[in-house]
Amino acid sequence: MKKNMAVSGLLFIFIAGMLYGAKLYEDRIYEPVILLGDQIPAVRNAKLPVDEIFVYAYKNGGWHMMPFQIDERVRRADPDLSKDEATRIRHFYAIANTNTAYADPDTNAAFDGDDELVFLIRDLGDEAPANAVFGDAQAQANPKYKLTFTDPLTQEKTYAYIVRSATLTMPDDVKNKYAMSFDPATHTIQSISYTLGVSQVNGFLKDIIIKPPFGSNTDIFDTQKIRMNGFLDLAMGIPFEMGRNDGNSGTEVMFYVFPNETYLSYTDRPVVRVIREVRESLGNNKAGYPFEGTEFYIKTFFFPYSASFEGGALLDPDSLKAALDDPSLEIVIEMDYLRQSWDFNANAAGMQFYNKYNTAVPVDGLPDSPDMTVDKPASDERLQLWSMMTGNQGTFFNFFDLAESNWDALSLYYYDDQNGGQLDQAILVADDSGEPGCYGDHGVRFTNTVVQTKALNLDFSFTAYFDLPNQNRTRAEQLWSWIQNPPANPSVNTVEFSATGIKPNPSPDCFMLGQMAPNPFNMTTSFDFVLDRASDVHCFVLDATGKHVRDIEKRGFSAGRHALTWNGTSDDGTVLPSGLYVIRLETPEFQDQKKVILLK
């Protein structure tokens, strides 16, 4: 029944989008766009100098420079990783690097097939009319490229324009719109919606703080974990038991992160993305040594409202023999249990847990009996799972992806117990990692019923979104649907605009009504607006028939950016029914409106 209700909710959103023309950049406001040069061949073939490329959107009758960045991606072999360089090609994204021996910058000043152009869907705009002009003479004179994006779910289109100019610069308010930064000393990432910490011990996330208005600005997270029960012998004289009887839990010990001064690559001047790349291996970080032949790179990508992780190692006896250049080695890999989990702390109390088979499981430090089902994929498919933790603290939505078919059984890991411990402590007989309490810890468990040597895939990825507080299943399935259905590669056309017409290059802050978030919503939705001068403002709500149902504000506002919310009620306090509504904002000189869906 719950599943049918969720499907009905998504169908309602889809139909509303088709009937009322919800714009792609108004709906999918958290998603990044990452375009490899080869995906936009017309721009790649133009060989534009990277420092002369700018991206614009056309909104509210004028041009607005979009926050964007171009990451130089250099392919090079790392001789430290393998004796067969042709099989170990890594991607180098760094602007800054702690080891100059690895700093191999792109010497090609032109935008090429390996470069990546990055921005957010929310900053895209409408199709510009033919009489639109650029105030910058060089941008007006040079060819311009229209990128057309299509939402595969609604077929709604949105646009970006790439221009070339040696005289333009990115203003500070555009450059700093999302407050992105990375501290290489503490491995802390900041954005407009979160503060995240990354462990220098195992390379995984260790702290999550969701900032207002998205959350309560408290650290709700302990650490991301991988725990194992098995045996690894790389024929180096150091057999390694994981989670059995040697006191190594497989959480803090199994992964060795090379020190910053040995290898750390990161983006030091981010606009919309921080890339952090570290070198890791299996090993013993307490004793301070890696296992030769198991080295790999971990890349984490941080955007204003999301983060993603990719990397890991394939533990395969034949591959390890090749990496160690000794086919005679007797390599043993036995694994009977593995768990990947997100472990939350006491500050997460009061949140709720959702996944495909569970709805609103309360996080309160008291044991629960959730549905532990995880669907095992077919041998030619990937394991893909979603989960969500949501409450006043904010919303943490996670999508987990793994190419793995060698495990006999899969199940949910879920442990909510204020007394601490772990759900799998009977399996992992080694010491616990010492958390004083567990609150909604969750993930996936992999089990082999017969212990034998198999290839073990530890190469996985995840994507996390940080959303506004108190979301529901409909929102989770909406985010899940968007991740599965990203906008396709854009079509690219060269365009010209007339030298006369619309007022050129209006200020980005002249007048702007921002997007509603969340959208759809079931409690409150928030939005902001910008005025270039003090003005009287009337902000109100209309229903789908155009009937006035609520005044949000009607008063004078100073110049600058302001934020408003609507709680889904009418002027007399009545809770309005589910449906499509329009939030309209009017000043004596400007008017704009946005659609929003209320779901109860």
Length reported for the chain:
600
CA dist 485 → 9, 308, 460 (Å):
17, 17, 20
Average pLDDT over residues 260-269: 79
Tell me: the pLDDT tens digits for 138-194? 888 888 899 999 888 888 889 999 999 999 999 999 999 999 999 988 999 999 999
Q: Please tell me the predicted confidence (pLDDT) of residue 593.
A: 84
- CATH for 181-471? 2.70.98
What is the spatial distance between Cα 194 and Cα 208, in angstroms, rounded to a whole number? 7
Q: Please tell me the predicted confidence (pLDDT) of residue 85.
A: 37
pLDDT at residue 416 tops 80: yes
CATH 2.60.40.4070 applies to domain 511-598: yes
Tell me: the pLDDT tens digits for 428-440? 765 555 567 899 9
Average pLDDT over residues 271-295: 74
Could you state, in order of their start, the residue ranges of all structural domains in the chain?
2-178+487-495, 181-471, 511-598
pLDDT at residue 421 tops 70: yes
Calculate the average pLDDT of the chain: 79
Average pLDDT over residues 53-59: 93
Average pLDDT over residues 88-104: 51
Q: Which residues contact 573 (CB under 8 A, 6 or more apart)?
A: none
Q: Please tell me the predicted confidence (pLDDT) of residue 404.
A: 63
- Contacts of 284-288 with CB under 8 Å at 24 or more apart are 284/240, 284/248, 284/253, 284/254, 284/256, 285/201, 285/202, 285/252, 285/253, 285/255, 285/256, 285/257, 286/252, 286/253, 288/256
Which token pair is 423? 């759900």
Q: For residue 579, which of 520, 534, 494, 496 has the smallest C-alpha distance?
A: 520
- Could you tell me the pLDDT band of residue 543, with boundaries at 50, 70 and 90? confident
Beta strands in 37-88 (DSSP E): 53-59, 62-65, 69-71, 74-77
What are the residues facing 542 on neighbouring strands?
A: 548, 582
Q: Please tell me the predicted confidence (pLDDT) of residue 448.
A: 80
Tell me if 301 sits within 8 A of 270, measured CB to CB. Answer: no
Q: For residue 599, which of 466, 465, 477, 515 has the smallest C-alpha distance?
A: 477
Tell me: the pLDDT tens digits for 290-344? 666 667 777 889 999 999 887 666 666 676 666 666 677 777 777 788 888 999 9
Q: Which residues contact 410 (CB under 8 A, 6 or more apart)?
A: 374, 375, 376, 383, 444, 445, 446, 447
Q: Please tell me the predicted confidence (pLDDT) of residue 515.
A: 80
Q: Which residue has the tokens 């395969």?
A: 316
Average pLDDT over residues 83-87: 37
Q: Please tell me the predicted confidence (pLDDT) of residue 161.
A: 95
What is the spatial distance between Cα 181 and Cα 171, in angstroms, rounded to a whole number? 17
- Percent of the chain exceeding pLDDT 70 equals 76
Tell me if 256 sits within 8 A of 280, measured CB to CB. Answer: yes
Q: For residue 356, which of 416, 442, 423, 418 has the smallest C-alpha distance?
A: 442
Q: ∠ at Cα 466 (461, 471), nearest 5°?
A: 115
DSSP-derived 3-state class of residue 206: strand
Domains 181-471 and 511-598 share a fold: no
Average pLDDT over residues 352-356: 97
Q: Give the chain's end-to-end CA distance (angstroms, integer).
A: 16
Mean pLDDT comparison of 80-89, 207-216, 520-529, 530-539, highest-scoring range? 207-216
Residue 221 CB-density burial (10 A; 0-12 exposed, 13-18 middle, 19+ buried)? buried
Tell me: the pLDDT tens digits for 426-469? 777 655 555 678 999 999 998 887 655 566 666 677 899 999 99
- Could you tell me the pLDDT band of residue 7, with boundaries at 50, 70 and 90? very low
Tell me if 500 sits within 8 A of 133, measured CB to CB. Answer: yes
What is the spatial distance between Cα 512 and Cα 561, in angstroms, rounded to a whole number? 9
What is the spatial distance between Cα 489 and Cα 42, in angstroms, rounded to a whole number? 13
Q: Which residues contact 467 (CB under 8 A, 6 or more apart)?
A: 30, 214, 305, 390, 394, 395, 397, 475, 479, 518
